Amino acid sequence: MVNEGAGAPRSRRGSHKVVPSSDQDGTGEVSCPSNGETESLNKKSPDPPSHLKADLMRQFDTQVNEFMDSLIEESASLGSSHVSTVFPLSDKEKSKLRHTRPSQSQSKQFVIRRSLLDDLFEVNHIRTIYHMFIALLILFIFSTLVVDFIDEGRLVLEFDLLVYVFGQFPLVVVTWMCMFLSTLVVPYVLLSVWASVYRTSNHRALWTALAGSLLLLYQGLCLGFLPTYVVLKNGLPPASCFILILEQVRLIMKAHSFIRENVPRVRSLQRNKANSLAVPQFTQYIYFLFAPTLIYRDNYPRNPCIRWGYVATKFSQVLGCLFYAYYIFVRLCIPQFRSISMQLFDLRAMVLCVFNSILPGVLVLFLAFFAFLHCWLNAFAEMLRFGDRMFYKDWWNSTSFANYYRTWNVVVHDWLYYYVYRDFLWMAQKQFRAAAMLVVFTVSAVVHEYVLAICFGFFYPVMFCLFMCFGMVFNFVLNDRRKGPIWNVIMWTALFLGQGVLICLYSQEWYAQRFCPIQEPSFLDLLKPRSWTCTPLAL
């Protein structure tokens, strides 16, 4: 199925074009304007001479061939997957498609399209699954109220866990404002000053090195060190930590994309002696900082209006997911891990802990995906009239982990692909593709582990090991050549088990850090998991 807004192929014959009308009905059918030539043909005799029949057949054949050629040429900018899903291409056409692509693959193309779940929720069968999750939330709420009523003799409507994890929120807001304002000013000013000096100076290499050093210094100190220092110095609780650290990572990626996309343009304009505007307008940069994408463009496809009801629905769903996660931890996690933390660390307890953590781990995975990648990003996209809503693809249908990594979070995947994978291949002259993939996995694993270590307050490289060990192995073993339902089952089994391991080990370490504190820990104590040595006597 062709993505909405991806653009219709054009047929060329002389000066005539088949141009899609801007007025489309709800079925997606495009009406084409009538042509004077076709009208005159329709008025001819129903039994034309044989030479006219031959001319018409040749004309029809030429138009069909030109239509297919233009379809293949335009599909190069959108990827062959969009075409092959509608028109199965022959080997000759696929070969032509490969040769029409430029030597360097096209940059990301933004088109107007809806998020996949918005389309799926219009199907009653799929929407029923959404209703089942709402029913499960209602049961969680009732079960919590009933248990509290039996234990306390009254209805307890306190949310101590939520109040704790979002503690010191004013400090979070002030720190975020400083981070955002610095990102708003410093990269743009540095690029503007460098661009103006680069076009007139005879020491371009020196100025480029100086501007690059200042940018790295800013990102390392202002965006890198200061937010981390605020988090650790003030002992912020987990949710407040996640807000600051994830925003820190997002702003660093945004600033890198802005500089990375505009520096080549400035240098290209200098080589071509062009006088066009090299640095984007400040309003374009502001829009990019809020837009739900990590790939900078001067302009994005925009929707004509804002549906404020849609925005309110998405934000209410984010709030609902937050309470959903609260009840999952209150009913499924906290009672279990409090009892486990009173036991010795052994293999039996570990196995039971992992399997008991699969259900809450999977629910947290679904909630994180739905709340952030669907609701949060769609809400901001709607307020900004941002047209391209492909923040994820059908990752649940993946039969390989390679496809899962590409489709789970398209926003981050695009940044890693264009600015890590492709840039590495460019520096390596398109060699060492396996090394480029290893670099991508390493960067992703290190950043994930950094976020978890800072937010939880301890170093326990479970996520790093899962990424670098099992993630790399599954990426090559369960590759794109694996097809069929059995591979989808294997993918889901491994994903469920991985979520159980993450919830189990991090929860055990969280309680061990609090029940078995060390007054003056050495560097080795900071690296060694506390749950391995924490005993009931120490509790």
The residues assigned a catalytic role are: 448
Helix or strand run (H / E) with residue 263: helix 238-271
CA 156 to each of CA 5, 241, 325: distance values in angstroms, whole numbers, following the listed order: 51, 28, 18
Q: Say whether 66 sits in a helix, a strand or coil.
A: helix
| DSSP per-residue letters across 118-154 | HHHTTSHHHHHHHHHHHHHHHHHHHHHHHHHHHHHSS
Looking up tokens 């975020």 gives 176
Rounded to 5 degrees, φ, ψ at 137 are -65, -40
> Residue 189: what residue type?
V
Residue 248's nearest CA partner among 440, 4, 454 is 454
Cβ contacts of 292 within 8 Å, gap of 6 or more: 377, 378, 380, 381, 384, 386, 391, 411
CA 448 to each of CA 70, 217, 458, 505: distance values in angstroms, whole numbers, following the listed order: 43, 22, 14, 16
* Total Cβ atoms within 10 A of residue 308: 10
| DSSP per-residue letters across 503-531 | HHHHHHHHHHHHHS--SS--HHHHHS-GG
> Residue 154: what residue type?
R
Helix, strand, coil fractions of the chain, as percent rounded to 5: 70, 0, 30
Please give the distance of CA 385 from its chain centroid, rounded to a whole number. 18
